[in-house]
Amino acid sequence: MIVAGVDVGSLTAKAVIMKDNEIIASAVLRANPSPGQSAREVMDMALAQAGLSQGDIEFTVGTGYGRKQIDFVNLVESEIACHARGAVWNMPSVRSIIDIGGQDAKAARIDENGNVERYGYNDKCASGTGRFLEVMAEALDVPMEDMGDLDLQATEDLSISNQCVVFAETEVISLVNKGYEVPDIAKALHKAMAGRVAALAKGIGVEEDIAFTGGVAKNKGLGRALANALNMDLKFLDTDPQTNGALGAALMASQVMAEKKSA
């Protein structure tokens, strides 16, 4: 049984192909303005990696903000549901997830089967999202992928008082101009962002084990700050956290096919 999941977010598109409940291919690319085109391109990347064609895929589930514009999927599901399913497949002890994407942040409590029991999300303000970190990395003239390790070099405890991205960027530039070290500023940014996301997570009563998913989960500095803000441990998945939504979508596709074959 070969199935696929495709997750088209605001910044990236992801695809996962599974055969008999095992991952055989995955791909990530920077999304373009057309969600449908992004989905097609990332799916083609995954198919090439697996040595398959679209006709070999028995069922495909789409997710992400662009899921309704993917013309080759059989079913669409919410990002929260897919991230929950992917997290539990990775780590059965997970009972909560925190997913930070490019334009939003989500938290959910889930059961042992990966079903969502309660959730909350922030898509009104960029301050708790990947976009916040992207803007701040540009302001610091630091590659986005280096932000996570920078705060390990911090020696001074700074604070970022502004939550708004525009004002926070101005504050960061001011700190740079005053001669503060970049690692100290990076750590302060992680602390500020973690406080906002932790408030969201506490609002729905997250419980351990907590899985940190989404592309931003690759930032270990933010992970440390978030664990401190929650006063709880965060679990990092064995698979790429950025493809966790696509993985969950593929698992849902597997479930649909299993139910069809047993009917």
* 168 and 184 in a common domain: yes
* 140 and 105 in a common domain: yes
The alpha carbon torsion through 122, 127, 132, 133 (nearest 10 deg) reads -100
Nearest-angstrom CA–CA distance, 174 and 177: 5
**Across-strand partners of 122?**
105
* 79 and 27 in a common domain: yes
Considering only residues 148 and 2, tell me which one the structure prediction assigns the higher pLDDT. Answer: 2
* 220 and 100 in a common domain: yes
Residue type, 39: A
67-100 pLDDT, tens per residue? 999 999 999 999 999 999 999 999 999 999 999 9
Report the relative pairing of strands 59-63 and 2-8 from DSSP bridges: parallel
- Inter-CA distances, 58 with 4, 22, 36, 44, 217, Å: 8, 15, 19, 15, 31
* 138 and 232 in a common domain: yes
Residue type, 185: I
The pLDDT of residue 204 is: 96
Q: Which two tokens stand for residue 109?
A: 């409590």
**Across-strand partners of 107?**
98, 120
pLDDT above 70: percentage of residues in the chain: 99
Nearest-angstrom CA–CA distance, 78 and 73: 14
Mean local confidence (pLDDT), 130-156: 91
pLDDT band at 238 (very low <50, low <70, confident <90, very high): confident
The pLDDT of residue 165 is: 85
* 99 and 228 in a common domain: yes
Q: Which two tokens stand for residue 248?
A: 């969950």
Distance between the two ends of the chain, CA-based, in angstroms? Answer: 16
Residue 111's Cβ-count burial label (10 Å; 0-12, 13-18, 19+) is exposed
Domain extent, residue 85, equals 1-91+240-263
* 104 and 16 in a common domain: no
pLDDT at 125 over 90: no
The pLDDT of residue 107 is: 96
162-220 pLDDT, tens per residue? 878 888 999 999 999 999 999 999 999 999 999 999 999 999 999 999 999 999 999 99
Provide the number of structural domains found in the chain.
2
* 99 and 188 in a common domain: yes
Residue 233 near residue 209 (C-beta atoms within 8 A)? yes
Nearest-angstrom CA–CA distance, 262 and 215: 36
pLDDT at 124 over 70: no
Closest CA to 1 of 256, 245, 247: 256
Report the relative pairing of strands 210-213 and 234-236 from DSSP bridges: parallel
Considering only residues 129 and 226, tell me which one the structure prediction assigns the higher pLDDT. Answer: 226
* 129 and 156 in a common domain: yes
pLDDT at 103 over 90: no
pLDDT at 236 over 80: yes
* 255 and 142 in a common domain: no
Closest CA to 174 of 160, 156, 192, 194: 160
Residue 140 near residue 185 (C-beta atoms within 8 A)? yes
* 215 and 195 in a common domain: yes
* 140 and 76 in a common domain: no
The pLDDT of residue 56 is: 97
CATH of the domain at 36: 3.30.420.40
